[in-house]
């Protein structure tokens, strides 16, 4: 395999995709390497303390010790960088082999994959938020300390993006609600026996989550001033066509609150029937029939009733992909060093729940 090192016991070289193809790279980014060089320069300087009459110069050994300590503090406190890996893929292995020792964990995958950049892509935003929500519900304690710190750093970026762009705040409110409920149970019920780090850190994180929830609650949508064509100026058949392309009932209700015309279109029985048929099977309809006052089936109430008992289909603009040939998890546009003759036949999209299941042993 081209990405293995000279020693068959080593995990292999690290590769990065460039315009000229895949090239071997170092595990640290150039920005961090520059930071290391700056920290290394400290060991070559002389630090003078005290008064002019009583000056003391630290030895070279003391300077080297101080430089190493500053390196550790730099890596530990650098919250802007998600991880120190340049590649955007990870090899998923569940058992030890001669080539690789140990196995891949959920926390390692969360650190290695570039979720910080993914939330800036509107195609991946909902995917990452759903993944964070699933981790908050059941997998938060399985993350390592570094992965948990990375989790809250990404969450902070998501909240700031929603506050600035006002994009899909309802989705983030659901995520924060599930996360706060989980933390309350862990802090009060189990405590530090399952949480990595001091319990006071988690209390501060819970307070931060409550602050985020309050900020989102007070979020005011900016009214855009546009003298051109607006949504209300479109013909009825085009507005109706837009509503039929929605896959979330709450989005239909929200859009129906904009104008009386959209409200009338959002209450169409046929619209909600199509939505129910898209997400649920006919056997599920028979168990939860909700007739209206006129004797017809209330498909709108049916949708929300079925949603409580059965999962709905999820749609994402872009997802992580898994290569069955290489056992590598990656973002499709970044690629990976695949050795298959036809890599496209080996790709499989990975849903957020599938991502969690990949690391259950």
Region of 197 (left: φ > 0; alpha: ψ -120 to 50; beta: rest) is left
Distance (Å, whole) CA 105 – CA 111: 10
Strand 14-18 to 21-25 pairing: antiparallel
Query: Among 101-110, 154-163, 338-347, which stretch is predicted with the lowest mean pLDDT?
Result: 101-110
Q: Rounded mean pLDDT of 117-132? A: 90
pLDDT tens digits, 260-286: 899 999 999 899 989 988 888 888 777
- What average pLDDT score do residues 313-319 get? 85
Both structure tokens of 216: 């989102």
Rounded-to-integer distance, Cα 28 and Cα 49, Å? 34
pTM listed for this prediction: 0.67
Judging by beta carbons within 10 Å of its beta carbon (0-12, 13-18, 19+), is residue 334 exposed, middle or buried?
A: middle
pLDDT score for 50: 40
- The confidence score (pLDDT) of residue 152 equals 93
223: which 2 tokens?
């009214």
Structure tokens at 69: 């300590």
The reported pLDDT for the residue numbered 264 is 92
pLDDT at 194: 67
Q: Express each pLDDT in 198-257 by its tens digit.
A: 778 888 899 999 999 999 988 877 666 566 777 778 888 899 999 998 888 888 998 888
| Lowest-confidence pick of 48-52, 97-101, 192-196, 274-278 | 48-52
Q: What are the b/e assignments for 185-207, b being 16+ CB within 10 Å?
A: ebbeeeeeeebbeeeebbeebbe
Given a contact cutoff of 8 angstroms between Cβ atoms, the answer to whether 282 and 276 are in contact is no
Rounded to whole angstroms, the Cα distance separating 354 from 175 reads 18
From residue 16, give the alpha-carbon distance in Å to each of 171, 327, 335: 34, 17, 9
Give per-residue pLDDT as tens, 160-177. 999 888 888 888 999 999
């Amino acid at each position: 395999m081209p990405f293995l090192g000279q020693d068959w016991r080593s995990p292999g070289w690290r590769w990065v995709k460039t315009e000229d193809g895949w090239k071997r790279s170092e595990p640290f980014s150039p920005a961090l390497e520059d930071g290391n060089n700056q920290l290394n320069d400290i060991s070559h300087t002389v630090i003078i303390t005290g008064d002019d009459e009583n000056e003391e110069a630290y030895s070279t050994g003391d300077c080297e010790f101080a430089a190493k300590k500053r390196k550790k503090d730099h890596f530990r406190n650098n919250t802007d960088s998600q991880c120190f890996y340049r590649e955007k893929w990870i090899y998923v292995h569940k058992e030890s082999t001669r080539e690789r020792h140990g196995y891949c964990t959920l926390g390692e995958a969360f650190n290695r994959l570039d979720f910080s950049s993914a939330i800036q892509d509107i195609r991946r935003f909902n995917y990452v938020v759903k993944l964070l929500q699933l981790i908050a519900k059941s997998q938060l304690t399985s993350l390592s300390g570094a992965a948990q710190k990375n989790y809250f750093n990404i969450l902070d970026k998501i909240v700031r993006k929603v506050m600035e762009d006002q994009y899909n705040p309802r989705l983030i409110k659901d995520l924060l609600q599930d996360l706060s409920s989980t933390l309350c149970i862990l802090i009060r019920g189990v405590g530090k026996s399952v949480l990595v780090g001091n319990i006071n850190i988690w209390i501060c994180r819970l307070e931060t989550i409550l602050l985020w929830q309050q900020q989102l609650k007070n979020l005011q949508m900016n009214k855009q001033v546009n003298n051109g064509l607006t949504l209300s100026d479109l013909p009825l058949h085009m507005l109706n066509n837009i509503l039929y392309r929605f896959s979330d009932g709450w989005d239909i209700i929200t859009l129906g609150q904009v104008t009386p015309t959209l409200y009338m279109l959002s209450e169409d029985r046929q619209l909600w029937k199509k939505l129910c048929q898209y997400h649920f099977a006919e056997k599920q309809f028979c168990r939860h029939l909700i007739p209206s006052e006129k004797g017809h089936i209330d498909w709108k109430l049916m949708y929300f009733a079925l949603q409580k008992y059965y999962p709905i289909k999820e749609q994402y603009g872009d997802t992580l992909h898994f290569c069955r040939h290489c056992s590598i998890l990656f973002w499709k546009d970044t690629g990976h060093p695949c050795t298959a003759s036809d890599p496209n036949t080996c790709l499989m999209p990975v849903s957020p729940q599938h991502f969690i299941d990949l690391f259950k042993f």
